[in-house]
Each structure stands twice: as C-alpha cells, then as structure tokens.
Chains A and B, each alone.
Chain A
Amino acid sequence: MIEVPSRVSVRDLAKVFQDGEARVEAFAQITLEARPGEFLCLVGPSGCGKTTLLRCLAGIETPSAGAIEHRLEPGAPGAEQAMVFQQHGLFPWLTVEANLHFVLRESPVPRQEHDAIVQRLLERVGLARFRRFYPYQLSGGMNQRVALVRAFCVQPQVLLMDEPFVFLDYQNRIVLQDLLLELWQEQRQTILFVTHNINEAIALGDRVLVMPGTAGPFAREISCPFGRPRDVVQLRTNPDYQRIVVEVTQLLRQEQEHSLREGRIG
C-alpha cells in the first residue's frame, strides 16, 4: 500500500475545562490520523469527550495541549472544512435555499456555480420542491437533510459530524445514512463522524476508533472491510458485521465499566 500523508493529524490532544476550582478533563492524550477520503468514526461511552474533540477539530474550542494539523490539498476548490451538528442549526429566518446560499457565499466556491450546486444537491436529497420553505415548515428529518446538504455544498476537504442523526427516528436515520454515503461517494472528503451508536459507526465507517472512558489514548481501532457502495440495512445480515458489532460493544462496555470505577462519569 502506498503511504499517503494523512489529511487530519491529531497528536497528544487534551482538553481541560477549568471553572474556578473545578477541573474537568474532557479527554487527554488523543492521537489519531485520518487519511484523505477516509470515513473515520469515533465511538465512545457518553461523557468521554467525543463532541469536545470534534469541536476542537472545528476550531470552536481551543485544546489545552497537543496539536491538530490539517494537511489540506492545495488548490482544491471547496472549503477547508464543514460540520454537521446534532441539531440542524439552520437559520430559521432564511429559507432552505437561502441557508445554503449563505454558507456558499462565505466559501471559496466560485459564485457562478452556487445556483447549480444548490439545485443539484436539493434534488439529490429530494427537497427541491421545498427550497423556498422555512425551517419551521419542515420536519426534523427534512431539516437535517438540509443541514447535510449545507455541509456538502461548500465541498469541504474535511467534514466533521457530531452525532448528526441522534435526534432522528429510526426510519429517518436510515434515509439520512444512505444519503450521507451517496453524497460522500461523489465528493470523497475525509469524514470524522462521532456517534455513540455502534451499528451506525460500523455501517458507515472505513475505520472505527473507540474512545477510552478514562483519559488516555484510543482504546482500540477496528476496520470495517465491507467495500463500497454499501447498503447500511443489508449489511446487518453480514456475519463479519455482526462479529464486529459485538466486538466493539464489548470494548465499549469495558471502557464504560473502567470509567465508572474511576468515578469519572455521572
């Protein structure tokens, strides 16, 4: 295999929240590499700092120690990064298409392509008919689809996803997972996808990193060798898939017990 330099490289990252006397360690000694075009999932027990790690990568939070390096492809047309959140985070005063145009305007994507991109992506997720609608007029699943489109329309080199489907019902989650994989297959950016849903992580990712319950380096790395394109539902009948789900679940259980013993998580 050819050695490709990683797209995102994180070394010995730590984040400590200090509030007066109280000192809360979100995570410590996190090291990870994400290759160009890789779909990397991070799972971990609740409270292990998954979300905080992603917010550090996005630059929303500043890490307390360690280094984050984005080795971006020079001359790539799109944005450096984009992020999808647990909540859709659309601006309620803007229509669906205005929400997309708003972030496109801030991105390096050439102006003359904006209309076509918005049109094409909305059609792709079946929302072209709703482009003049406001978020309050759409269902939660539809809004999250728009949020997904918003991230892809700026053609990011790195896409950060923080449990983006956690508030969706089962049906919608499957629909959104399919759409995510389709859109990613076209653009092939590096995705860092945080979730506590083991099935989701294994069905979507190329690799799954299990975050430790207590501060420390990644507990384990598991690869998901299922080829692409994948059918996230069909995959469930695959014995390898089932084996890996059990394996990761065991790992997470150990981490959870470990962190309970350390008294770290409420």
Chain B
Amino acid sequence: MTGARLDLLRKAAVFVASPLVLLGIWELCGRMGWVDIRFFPLPTRILGYLIWLFREDNLIVDILSSMRRIGLGLAVGFLPGVVLGLAMGLSSWARLILGPLVALTYPIPKIAILPLLLIIFGLGETSNVMVVAIGVFFLALINTYSGVSQIPQIHFDVAHVYRVRPWRRLTHIVLPAAFPGIFTGLKLAVGYGLILIVAAEMVAAGSGIGYRIWTSWETYVIIELYACLAVISGIGVLLSVGLEALERVLAHWKGA
C-alpha cells in the first residue's frame, strides 16, 4: 500500500473514531451515574430508540416530508436567486436597483417571516415551502453575484476579441465561470433549508422532523428529541457529502 493511501485511510479512521470516542465517554458517564440520564439518555439507548422509530413509528415518512419541502423550496427559490445574482453581477443598473433591496431584506431572519406566510398562505405545505424558498433565494443571489464578480476580466476580453455573441457569452462563459460560486450557494442553501424547515415544522406542520421534535417536547419524550437530532445530523452529513462529490464531478476542471 502506498504512503498516500495509508495516510488517507488513517484520516478516514480518525474521522469516524472522533465522534465514536465522544459517544463512548457519554455512554460511560451515563452508566457511571455521572450525568443525569433523564436529560442525557445513553447513546446506545438513543440508537435503539431510533431503530424502533424507523421500524414501528414511520419516522421515514417524516424525514421524506421534510426533504420534500426542502426540495420544493429549492426548486422555487434557488433559480430566481441565480437569475437576479447574474443580473447584479453583470449590470451596474441591476446592482443599483437591487442592491439596497437586498441589503434591507437579507438581514431579516427568514423564520421571522413565517407568521406572515401563515397568514397569506394558511397553515399548510405552501407556507413551509415558501419559508425555505425565501431563505435559499438570498443565498443563491448573494453567492451567484459574488461568483460573477470574481470572474477574471480576461474571460470577458477573450469573449470580446473573438466576438462571442451575448447569449453565448452568458451561457458558455459567465455561467460556467460563476459555477463554483453558484454551487457554494447551493451547499449553503441546502444547509439553511434544513434549519428553516425544522423550525417551520415546529409550529406550522403536521409532519416532518421539526414536527416530531415539537411533539416530543410536548409529550416530554426526551429520548425521541435526541433521536430526531441524530436524524437531522445524519441528513446534514449525507447531503453535504453528496454535494461535495457532485461538485468534484461538475467542477473537476478546477483541478483541486
């Protein structure tokens, strides 16, 4: 085995071992009675409960409905964000017009808009999807804009000299050149979507991971709270690993 591969293997082992060691310490503390297991249930018990939730309590249905809302929110909010981000990156007029609007609305925590959405769209799927859509819209816009502004001038000079037509300039130069920025926006948007949907579901949904967390709190099933947090953490890791892999395939030309 080569040194580089061994090194990679060692890093992977540490990556897995690090959280396991922490869980082990937690387990030990619980078993020795050093922490109150009413508030900090044993990790092995949480795992058992999690398996039971999947087997007997349809946890997968809640996971899927949360994921569906994130997906729909991305579908509705991301593309408009990219389009306006491109406009702001390419046109000083668009920057002038949209700049102050973005500066004023971006700092609002998007979850704070939820009550308003509930009034407009009613208590249901649309409100949940819209809160995600609004959140990811800003991340798409800001990261696309930043991606476009970082395009080296030489690409535009080449486009000019070789008479690249405006539409092709947009689709074949600006978009691929800004792609790393747009993809950063997507990675942030997925993470933010997860945060928003869990928060929204606590008050505005009858299903989903956030809804489950809220009902566990209401019924005081602390171990289910932990199981739900573990699920969210797992989803987050899977999505981020998946997106990293996708980025390596799509932006392989960066050569990193």
CB distance from A87 to the nearest CB of B (A): 5
Point out the residues of chain B lying under 8 angstroms from A134, CB to CB: 252-253, 255
Q: Which residues on B are within 8 Å of A, measured CB to CB?
A: 154-155, 157-158, 160-165, 168, 172-173, 176-177, 179, 251-255
Interchain CB contact under 8 A, B161 and A58: yes
Which residue of A60, A106, A136 contacts B157 across the interface (Cβ within 8 Å)? A60
Majority DSSP secondary structure for residues of B touching A: helix
Which residue of A93, A106, A135 contacts B162 across the interface (Cβ within 8 Å)? A106
Interchain CB contact under 8 A, A107 and B162: yes
Given A79-B163, A93-B176, A154-B162, the answer on whether A106 and B154 have CB atoms closer than 8 Å is no
Interchain CB contact under 8 A, B176 and A83: no
Between B162, B164, B165, B255, the greatest number of chain A beta carbons within 10 A of the residue's beta carbon is seen for B162
Which residue of B154, B163, B173, B254 contacts A85 across the interface (Cβ within 8 Å)? B154
B169 (CB) vs chain A CBs: closest residue: A106
Interchain CB contact under 8 A, B172 and A102: yes
Complex alpha-carbon distance, A94 and B161, angstroms: 18
Subset of 9 A-B contacts with CB under 8 Å: A58-B161, A60-B161, A93-B177, A94-B253, A103-B158, A106-B164, A106-B165, A137-B255, A160-B161
Interchain CB contact under 8 A, A136 and B253: yes
Interchain CB contact under 8 A, A85 and B162: no
Interchain CB contact under 8 A, A81 and B253: no
Interchain CB contact under 8 A, A136 and B161: no
Known: A58-B157, A85-B154, A103-B164. 8 other contacts (CB 8 A): A60-B160, A60-B161, A89-B155, A89-B158, A93-B251, A106-B163, A106-B164, A154-B162
Query: Chain A 121-134, CB within 8 Å of chain B: the 1/0 string?
Result: 00000000000001
Complex alpha-carbon distance, A83 and B158, angstroms: 8
Interchain CB contact under 8 A, B163 and A107: yes
Tell me if A82 is interfacial: C-beta within 8 Å of chain B. Answer: yes
Tell me if A59 is interfacial: C-beta within 8 Å of chain B. Answer: yes
Point out the residues of chain A lying under 8 angstroms from B163, CB to CB: 79, 106-107
Complex alpha-carbon distance, A160 and B154, angstroms: 15
* Number of interface residues, chain A, beta carbon within 8 A: 26
CB distance from B11 to the nearest CB of A (A): 24
Complex alpha-carbon distance, A85 and B161, angstroms: 11
Point out the residues of chain A lying under 8 angstroms from B176, CB to CB: 91, 93
Point out the residues of chain B lying under 8 angstroms from A135, CB to CB: 253
Which residue of A79, A85, A107 contacts B158 across the interface (Cβ within 8 Å)? A85
CB distance from B179 to the nearest CB of A (A): 8
Point out the residues of chain B lying under 8 angstroms from A59, CB to CB: 160-161
Query: Chain A 152-174, CB within 8 Å of chain B: the 1/0 string?
Result: 00100000100000000000000
Point out the residues of chain A lying under 8 angstroms from B155, CB to CB: 89, 91
Given A58-B160, A154-B162, the answer on whether A91 and B154 have CB atoms closer than 8 Å is no
Complex alpha-carbon distance, A160 and B255, angstroms: 30
Point out the residues of chain A lying under 8 angstroms from B254, CB to CB: 92, 136
